[in-house]
Amino acid sequence: MDDGTLLAALDLGSNSFRLEIGRLDHGRVLRTEYLKETVRQGGGLSPDGSLTLEAMQRGWDCLARFGERLAGFAPRQVRAVATQTLREARNREEFLVRGAEVLGFPIDVISGPEEARLIYAGAARLLPPSNERRLVVDVGGRSTEMVLGQGLEARVLASCPIGSVASSLTHFPEGRYTASAFAAAQAAAEAALEEEAARFPRSGWDVAYGASGTVGAIGDILAALGEPPGLITRAALHALRERLLQARQVDQVRLAGLKEDRRPVIGGGISVLCAVFAQLGIERLQVAQGALRQGVLYDLLQREAPATDIRTATVQALARRFGVDAEQAGRVDRTARELFAQLCPGAPEDTLRTLHWAAQLHEIGNSIAHGEHPRHGAYILEHADAPGFGEQELRQLARLVLGQRGKLRKLPLVLEDAGFALQLACLRLAVLLCHARRDPAPPLPRLEREAAAFCVTLPARWVERYPQSAHLLREEVEAWRKTPWAMGIAYGA
């Protein structure tokens, strides 16, 4: 990307939706605009785990306003990520489909570890260069992330389902502050953090940093009370909790620095942060300026080239971990991309990259069993800890791996997506043509598309020379016959 390019990151959090716009300047992203709206989707989950219509509408209305601001941005300049509330919501697809429409850009639901990675990336980018070992924590609305890292590298990642909104709704539902309520809130938070806390020993870090909303809000309040700016100590945090106890009721709290949109969740936020201090042995927490949004912005930059795209490294790591035959993966990859170039010359790099990753990982399921290996591979990808990938991206890869061979009725709805169908056709034909675990004999069959039909044109005498491949190709034609697509065979001179 050229200097001056604008980039935008959207953080669809449980408490607030935030839009960060920055301008690229010699490898740095400098803020040009920041918008925040308190949406409180985390408080809009019904008892059955579904988002209420009111909560979804608040989110859609906010995204429509953000979408107007982003008019004219190219897809490669924008990334929207959703966190814990949409990880949990049973009806999240309903929200995401409509949300992407009004925003004008897709929305990625990211896993807890991926959220932690991006939080660390954002915090580290805005901290001075240092070799110090860092602990970064982020208390969100419904989850708390913890990261150990050094420099720009995140090394230990964790996400726990406890946050300021969830804690406030459970332990301070009517806004009353009592000693027993605070004790219960902190005990519940410590229980949620306890298992992961063992991975973050005090000996493993030199400096602790806090990122994002809850930490920033508490830091602002303490600074207004005369504490050192940008620093939260254990003693000051406990003293702040005592001030809330003295007020007894949330609407009676009078604290300079406490913003009104933060007031309803400050009790839960303090309780969770007290639990973080207790579980991780923190005495001093420095407030970091960077967080998830900044991490997403720099991740957009890295996605521009395969060499810096962390998703490329993730695919390579998965292939090594599960013992993928690299030579066969390379054959299928080259063949699939050559076929796709016939169908879609000049296709976007993102589309080609997805097909490349699917080909590289198409045999990942062999590590479990050769029989049904596409199904095993799809399961691995849907449940893998895959840095850099959103859940939708992983699902797309999993569906390509699942559909690489065999009957297509297992993919009924996604075949209505023309882009996916084109990728899948090329991957399936590549797997077929490389079935003998060698490169297809030249020339490669010609692949064309007209409307919802594919035509495979074979060289003269191809069927006589490659009878097994011809048999597999006839089976492929039959497989597509039971889908919204058709495939036919023609013969050249």
Q: Looking at residue 371, what is its pLDDT? A: 82
Q: Looking at residue 400, what is its pLDDT? A: 95
pLDDT for 207 beyond 80: yes
pLDDT for 104 beyond 80: yes
Q: Looking at residue 493, what is its pLDDT? A: 62
Q: Looking at residue 58, what is its pLDDT? A: 95
Mean pLDDT of the chain: 93
Class of residue 149 by CB neighbours under 10 A (exposed 0-12, middle 13-18, buried 19+): buried
Q: What is the mean pLDDT of residues 466-485?
A: 91
Q: What is the mean pLDDT of residues 467-477?
A: 93
> Which residues, including other chains, have CB under 8 Å from residue 307's CB and lie 6 or more apart?
none
> What single string gives the DSSP state of each residue in 244-307?
HHHH-BGGG---TT--TTTGGGHHHHHHHHHHHHHHHT-SEEEEPS--HHHHHHHHHHHTTSTT
Residues 310, 315, 320, 321, Cα dihedral to 10°? 90
- List, for residues 13-30, the tens digit of each pLDDT value: 988 999 999 999 988 999
Percentage of residues in the chain having pLDDT higher than 90: 82
- Residue indicated by tokens 């007894």: 248
Q: Which of 44-48, 318-322, 407-411 has the highest mean pLDDT?
A: 318-322
What pLDDT band is residue 220 in, cutting at 50, 70 and 90?
very high
Nearest residue to 390 via CA among 86, 41, 23: 86
- List, for residues 365-420, the tens digit of each pLDDT value: 999 998 899 999 999 999 998 999 999 999 999 999 999 999 888 886 678 888 99
- List, for residues 252-285, the tens digit of each pLDDT value: 999 988 988 899 999 999 999 999 999 999 999 9
> Which residues, including other chains, have CB under 8 Å from residue 262's CB and lie 6 or more apart?
213, 217, 269
Find the range with the poorest average confidence among 42-46, 90-94, 473-477: 42-46
